[in-house]
Chain A
Amino acid sequence: MSMKSKFRLLGGGVALAGLLVAGTLAGSSPALAACELQFKPEDGAELTLLRWKRFIQAEEDAFMKIVENFQKDCGITVNVQNESLDDVQPKASVAANVNQGPDMVWGLYSLPHLFPDKLVDVTDLADYLAGKYGPWVPSAVKYGTKAGTSEWIDIPIAYNGNYINYRISAVEKAGFKEPPKTTAEFMELAKALKEQGTPLGMALGHATGDGNAWVHWALWSFGGSLVNENDEVIINSPETKAAVEYVKELYGYMAPGVAAWNDSNNNKAFMSGEVSMTNNGPSIYPAAKKDAPDIAADMNHAKWPVGPVGKPTEFHIAYPMMIFKYSKYPNAAKGFIEYLFQPAQYDMWLQAAVAYLTPPLEKYEANSVFTDDPKLTVFRDAARDTLTAGYEGSVGEKAASALAEFIVLDMFANAATGNMSVDDAIAQAERQAKRIYR
């Protein structure tokens, strides 16, 4: 424990100070009353955690509160560093390569699978959490375990649902009661929205979250996939072609400029009324509640339409947290994740994130944040409903590379913008995928 944290603890109260002294006298690390952890932190542990920059201030405030509580209860300081969503991966990759950097990284999708050998085995922690609050949703098991093994290399601590955000009035004006349930009707709605001057807009630029979410939905909803369950590239298929042609037509009904959109453009365009429908996490809604109550009252969220494949093909963001092997305090890091999942912390955090985070463990699905406001209920199922990066294939480093290289997204963008013919766009994606999946 650092001197600084010792001082803070001493300032905390006489009783606590007494405990500290007693603990020190006994020759062991100070036993702190509220620190009930299965995974006992190392003496003098101090952690550094790299996370993505918050989209919702209240979520970050709650997370920092947990960090503060952890320090208060267990005497371990966690230094939290923030990076924008897109910069977490390069930082983590470099850390993995040079064996130096933050003890823990909280990233996206299958990031841990880019360097599985560099990560601490957290199977014991995953089993413990499942026993206490579980079971894990199926996608969490796939994201958490090393491809083809039952060894956990990360803990998917939460998900972020990415659903249809829409203006109720615009959809009703277009003649629909709510966003349709099938891809065919969805096209009709997009067409009507465009005609009435309140178009649909979904990111086709290199948008890690929103862009990947909707293009994978489109691909899978027509039965297309980058690879099969044996990781063989099968992207060049009639199903893919149907999906690409669908997106090409849909693009024609979208707001201009979506090919340049990154993850933040759709929020701005929706808030300004430039588009009446987009795909996003629940970050527009709380922002609207704060700054534009009329938009908040007139908006809602919906699940993705189902395509010809006949079953939901949603793709939501997974947020895995991983511990690097080079960390001097792997047990403290495990202890922090364990602490994070304790009801006192996790429930408070879910509440603060106003459905921006979806839990991967069944117990927490009952959190009232998903039922207090019916407009947010849809986000409860994100972790349960999502398919994983790589679909039926492995979720390993190959799937992570394919996502990072925007192979599927660029295929759709190339065809939709007319930059390439449908066949050429698919052929290029196939070629790139074969390189990765060789």
Chain B
Amino acid sequence: MADAAIGTRTIPAEPSAWSRLKTNRDWLGAWFMLPTAAFLFLFLAYPLGLGVWLSMTDARIGREGIFVGFENFTWLYDDPVFWLSVFNTLLYTAVASVFKFAIGLYLAILLNHHLPFKAFLRAIVLLPFIVPTVLSAIAFWWMYDPQFSIISWTLKELGLITTNINFLGDPWNARWSVIFANIWRGVPFVAITLLAGLQTVPPSLYEAATIDGANRWQMFRHITYPMLTPIIAVVMTFSVLFTFTDFQLIWAITRGGPVNATHLMATLSYQRAILGGYLGEGAAISTAMIPFLLAAIMLSWFGLQRRKWQQGEADD
């Protein structure tokens, strides 16, 4: 009987390739990812690829370019204005990011305490971030006006200076002025995000530290800072990326002037590509930003991957 039963049992047909594709878990996973992948390709990879392609052509506005290899890059390599914009971008990003981090962290710690009107104060801190960039940039433009600056006016009224400060007419003054505006605008993002991070630190750790007799600095150094490191990595990556690619503030306040002293790579790219009509060269400047941005992302990526580093311990 047993043999007969075995003899009559139908052997299930080998599943077709199509049904395997439909039911195999690995394949299903791929299917479900497809829409997202298509979305990413269409809106991220394609424009990026197009930008890189454009940077290797001599495309002008209204006219398709022909492939010229690295000609745009070799030209930029010898272009002092391009290198000036690289220097400006690095200075702008480095100085603004350091200040945004320091002030943002300080504010976050302050706001984490129990203060009267806590919710209100937190909302106030967010204000610079909420105001549209162009609006705040125009406000700064007025504050830095060579003739009508309220800062110069106040200092003159106080008898501290006799002539107006040349905020935007002098290369270095202009650089510090736009960096200040960027810090003002960027601090809330850092502060509020770090504040969110601070809220996740268990109070019991502080209680234990207090019992052990730790002072405030020791508590910050050995509890707050290590617990906050992962979120610092994320926040500062974003902050650096935003700062490095900034355009609006500069364009509204100085348009890259005086004498290109505040041109960032993004503004120079726009000027060359859209105003000057040299799409290829503008794209090359944008493409030249990619290595810097990749470096920032990699730093954060590997940082986030390293659990020990996240927890504030030394690497093995």
Contacts and interface: CB of A to CB of B under 8 A. Distances in A.
Given A90-B275, A405-B276, A414-B259, A257 B146 contact: yes
Interface string B166-181: 1111110010000000
A115 B61 contact: yes
Contacts of A118: 62
A228 interface: no
A78 interface: no
Contacts of A404: 271, 275-277
Interface stretch (B99-107, B215-223, B225-233, B250-258): B250-258
Given A205-B254, A257-B146, A435-B75, 17 more contacts: A89-B275, A90-B274, A93-B61, A93-B62, A96-B62, A97-B62, A256-B166, A257-B147, A257-B164, A257-B166, A257-B168, A260-B169, A262-B255, A268-B148, A404-B276, A417-B258, A417-B259
Interface string A83-109: 000100110011011000000000000
A115 B148 contact: no
Contacts of B278: 401
Nearest to A405: B276
A408 to B, nearest CB: 13
A417 B260 CA distance: 12
Contact of B257 (A260, A269, A272, A436): A260
A274 interface: yes
Contact of B146 (A96, A260, A435): A260
Contacts of A115: 61-63, 277
B80 interface: yes
B163 to A, nearest CB: 7
A255 interface: yes
B277 A397 contact: yes
B284 interface: no
A117 B63 contact: yes
Contacts, number: 121
Contacts of A255: 146-147
B259 A114 contact: no
A276 B274 CA distance: 36
Contacts of A258: 146, 169
Contact of B276 (A261, A262, A272, A401): A401
Given A257-B164, A261-B146, A114 B255 contact: no
Contacts of B272: 405
Interface in A392-438: 397, 400-401, 404-405, 410, 413-414, 417, 419-420, 428, 431-432, 435-436
A258 B145 CA distance: 10
B261 interface: yes
Nearest to B148: A268
B167 A260 contact: yes
B122 interface: no
B258 A205 contact: yes
Closest 8 CB pairs of A and B: A257-B146, A260-B168, A115-B62, A259-B258, A259-B169, A260-B169, A96-B62, A257-B169
Contacts of A204: 258
Interface in B229-273: 254-261, 270-272
A7 to B, nearest CB: 38
B62 A260 contact: no
Interface of B: 60-63, 75, 79-81, 144-148, 163-164, 166-171, 174, 254-261, 270-272, 274-279
A205 B174 CA distance: 12
B274 A114 contact: no
A400 B271 CA distance: 13
A272 B145 CA distance: 13
A265 B147 contact: yes
A90 B61 CA distance: 10
A265 B258 contact: no
A435 B276 CA distance: 12
A269 B259 contact: no
A206 interface: yes
Contact of A205 (B61, B80, B257, B279): B257
Contact of A419 (B148, B261, B277): B261
Contacts of A397: 60, 277
Nearest to B61: A93
A397 B62 CA distance: 11
Nearest to A269: B147
A219 to B, nearest CB: 17
Q: How large is the interface on A (under 10, 10 to 19, 20 to 34, 35 or more residues)?
A: 35 or more
A114 B277 CA distance: 7
B47 to A, nearest CB: 14
Contacts of B254: 205, 260
23 contacts: A89-B275, A90-B274, A93-B62, A118-B62, A204-B258, A256-B146, A256-B169, A257-B164, A257-B166, A258-B146, A259-B258, A260-B168, A260-B254, A268-B148, A397-B60, A401-B278, A404-B271, A405-B276, A413-B259, A414-B259, A417-B171, A419-B258, A420-B259
A208 to B, nearest CB: 9
Contact of A97 (B61, B167, B256): B61
Interface string A247-263: 00000000111111110
B256 A206 contact: yes
Contacts of B257: 205-206, 259-260, 413
A259 B164 contact: no
Contacts of B258: 204-205, 259-260, 413, 417, 419
Given A259-B258, A260-B257, A114 B146 contact: no
A419 B171 contact: yes
B62 A114 contact: yes
Interface centre among B63, B81, B255, B258 (most CB of A within 10 A): B258
B145 A265 contact: yes
A290 to B, nearest CB: 20
Nearest to B168: A260
A93 B274 contact: yes
B282 to A, nearest CB: 11
Contact of B147 (A93, A274, A400, A432): A274
Nearest to A257: B146
A431 B77 CA distance: 13
Interface in A8-39: none
Nearest to A92: B61
A81 B159 CA distance: 47
A256 B259 contact: no
A401 B281 CA distance: 13
B80 A405 contact: no
B116 to A, nearest CB: 43
Contacts of A419: 171, 258-259, 261
A259 B62 CA distance: 33
Contacts of A94: 61, 274
A417 B174 CA distance: 13
A261 B174 CA distance: 12
